[in-house]
Amino acid sequence: MSAAGAGAGPPPPGAAPGTVLVTGGSGALGGAVTEAFLVDGWRVVAASRSGRQADPAAGHDRLVAVAADLDEPADVDATVAAAAADGAAPLRALVNLVGGYTQGGRVHETPVEELERQLALNMRPTWLVTKAVLPHLVAGGGGAVVCISSRAAVAPFRGGASYASAKAAVLAFAQAVAVEYRRDGVRCNAVLPSVIDTPANRAAQPDADHSRWVPPQQVAGVIRFLCGEDSAPTSGAAIPVYGRA
């Protein structure tokens, strides 16, 4: 793990909100999420395999880009340590963006290895990073975790059984964390986007009606809200972010 560029109790009035750890920080959604938090005064630690600072936030003095394989516990621990390293901006939130999708066949046409790959891609990093962050949030008097599930978790589509199952696991995990850590002041919610309007998705579906997809900035706005004090009563929720789809 390489990086470029904790405290207790809520921040005092007028203070910076703290630090948020964003996984999958170099992607299109990661860049939008990072920017939303930076604009609101947060210190952002953005982790990805490349460690690249996503546009338009690249070069910001409150952005720390970390290169890490979040499938590996040692890299996860080092990443979380970097997020908790600034005593002036305690670790207050985690946004789990790491995940992915591959098209499959119907269930009888899909090898079990594909299900296992989808679970490893979508669930393993979410579990590992959340597990490592929770002690910091508990010690600090509370905080917020946001996980990215999918509309497919509650409305599956043909050829997507393994993906839908993995994203349903992410949703169930978020709700379990909400129950287990409620008394510690830690909230956990899941965001369920439809198709996000990213360059990669446009390239994969060039003939789709892109105007019906949800822009990453709108997803980022929902995530930012779920990490802030205005959403303090909300935990264990499955938030639909469908755009016009």
Any idea which residues carry the catalytic annotation? 163
Distance separating alpha carbons of residues 58 and 115, to the nearest angstrom: 35
* Non-local CB neighbours of 219 within 8 Å, separated by 6+ positions: 29, 32, 33, 191, 193, 196, 241
Cis peptide before 73 (omega within 30 of 0): no
Q: For residue 126, what is the enclosing H or E element?
A: helix 124-139
> Is 209 strand, coil or helix?
coil
Residue 161: closest CA among 241, 201, 103: 103
What is the Cα–Cα distance from 128 to 118, expressed in whole angstroms? 16
- Report d(CA 12, CA 3) in Å as an integer: 29
Residue among 181, 197, 192, 196 at smallest CA distance from 235: 181
Instruction: Answer for the pair 222, 178: CB distance below 8 angstroms, yes or no.
Output: no
Structure tokens at 164: 């839908």
Residue listed under structure tokens 């936030």: 57
Distance between CA atoms of 74 and 85, rounded to whole angstroms? 16
